[in-house]
Amino acid sequence: MMLSWLYPLEKVLHSLGMEVTNKFIVIKTQIDGKPQESDFEFKTEPFSLTVKPGSNDIIIKNLYMSIDPYQINRMKTMSSSQKASEFAVGISPGKVIDAYGVGKVIASGNPKFEKDDYVVGLISWGEYSISQGFILNKLDPMGFPLTYHVGLLGLSGLTAYSGFFEICKPKKGEKVFVSAASGSVGNLVGQYAKHFGCYVVGCAGSPNKVKLLKEKLGFDEVFNYKEETDLNSTLQRYFPNGIDIYFDNVGGEMLEAAISNMNMNGRVALCGIIAEYTNAGKRAAPDLLNVIYKRITIQGFLSGDYMSLFPEFLTTTIDHLRTGKIHVLEDVSVGLEGVPSAFVGLFRGDNVGKRIVQVSLD
């Protein structure tokens, strides 16, 4: 009796547009090597656009999705390192994949959010998200494009800002090396470092990226690491007086070469190791004698630890933006269908700046 009564009601809700079909992306199995598009599939499920009475849920239409290399670590077979961080909760086959992004509230049972609010934080790789408010904030676009809040004014920006200023503790005039310098974080580190008064050399993986970083972003020097055969002597050439700060996004051989070229009291901010994410055999084995004799500090960090810096970061960055000091490097593609290819491409380095997928128009 009940069921027969409920069924028509659902149909009615759906006809009123209160229920839709939500398309979302899942992994088929855990991914332990380089990701392929075929590792992903699309699923659809009925999705209610109304909030259950008494629930705290926030129903979100996803607009812009951040595509980040670190997600691959959550897709692997679980290891202790992944369990150690709330940012590295594993992604299971067949399940919704949460990710940073910007959306718009459709309905909310949570008093902090209202219909039509923009939100930024953990949404999901799909058309719609349902959130309990965990790592989710109301967003005031402040007149900037929404995409800025996915990258520059979001976690990528905070990662660059907190990593450079808190972990690297720069002094004016110090010599800074940034790897993956055209990536979402690297390009900002370079720009912050330049405006702070450091000498900045970056490396990237194509002539176009090199040109862009030098000519538009103001890096002092940039080299294409794919054209170099001996990274140690490359760095000697670009840093005849040594490296004071290395902002590392790649790990592997580049980290080894950087440590061999560091100065006394050098600092390495370990932000990412994309060279090692999909190839555990490529692990960096730096010369630790250098680390001891040069009193080098190597420090891993995640931007989530520096949320208290967010207001300062935002003020500084918006100020740079308004005075035209920061060049925004974005790589936006359109359509949820393109997410797997956008993600997989990160590991070929085919992005220039912050990779974002526009899932839906505002």
Provide, rounded to whole angstroms, the least separation between the CB of residue 289 and its own copies. 5
CB atoms within 10 A of CB 251: 22
Q: Cα separation of 24 and 326, whole Å?
A: 34
Provide, rounded to whole angstroms, the least separation between the CB of residue 254 and its own copies. 12
Provide, rounded to whole angstroms, the least separation between the CB of residue 291 and its own copies. 4
Nearer to its own copies (CB atom), residue 136 or residue 255: 255
- Among residues 223, 133, 237, the alpha carbon closest in space to that of 181 is found at 223
User: For residue 51, what is the DSSP state?
Assistant: P
- Is-contact 133 58, C-beta < 8 A? yes
Residues 6+ apart with CB under 8 A from 259: 246, 266, 268, 286, 287, 290, 291, 296, 298
Provide, rounded to whole angstroms, the least separation between the CB of residue 221 and its own copies. 21
Provide, rounded to whole angstroms, the least separation between the CB of residue 357 and its own copies. 25
Nearer to its own copies (CB atom), residue 88 or residue 119: 88
Provide, rounded to whole angstroms, the least separation between the CB of residue 272 and its own copies. 7
Provide, rounded to whole angstroms, the least separation between the CB of residue 277 and its own copies. 8
- Is-contact 264 290, C-beta < 8 A? no
Q: Cα separation of 284 and 349, whole Å?
A: 19
Q: Cα separation of 207 and 196, whole Å?
A: 26
- By CB under 8 A, name the binding residues for its own copies: 73, 79-82, 84-85, 87-88, 251, 255, 260, 263-264, 270-273, 276-277, 280, 283-302, 305
Nearer to its own copies (CB atom), residue 135 or residue 302: 302
- Among residues 358, 356, 338, the alpha carbon closest in space to that of 40 is found at 338
User: Rounded to the nearest 5°, which phi and psi values hold at 81?
Assistant: -65, -35
Nearer to its own copies (CB atom), residue 288 or residue 307: 288
Nearer to its own copies (CB atom), residue 10 or residue 287: 287
Nearer to its own copies (CB atom), residue 26 or residue 160: 160
- Is-contact 283 252, C-beta < 8 A? yes
Provide, rounded to whole angstroms, the least separation between the CB of residue 245 and its own copies. 15
297-300 and 330-334 strand pairing: unpaired
Nearer to its own copies (CB atom), residue 89 or residue 142: 89
For the record, the structure tokens of 35 come out as: 């990701």
For the record, the structure tokens of 248 come out as: 């590392």
Provide, rounded to whole angstroms, the least separation between the CB of residue 352 and its own copies. 24
Provide, rounded to whole angstroms, the least separation between the CB of residue 81 and its own copies. 4
Q: Write a three-state SS string for 94-113.
A: CCCCEEEEEEEEEEECCCCC
For the record, the structure tokens of 254 come out as: 């580049």
Nearer to its own copies (CB atom), residue 64 or residue 239: 239
- Among residues 343, 336, 335, the alpha carbon closest in space to that of 43 is found at 336
Nearer to its own copies (CB atom), residue 88 or residue 329: 88
Distances in whole angstroms, Cα of residue 344 to Cα of each of 14, 101, 223:
35, 18, 24
DSSP code string of 196-217: HT-EEEEEESSHHHHHHHHHTS
For the record, the structure tokens of 152 come out as: 């520059």
Nearer to its own copies (CB atom), residue 78 or residue 107: 78
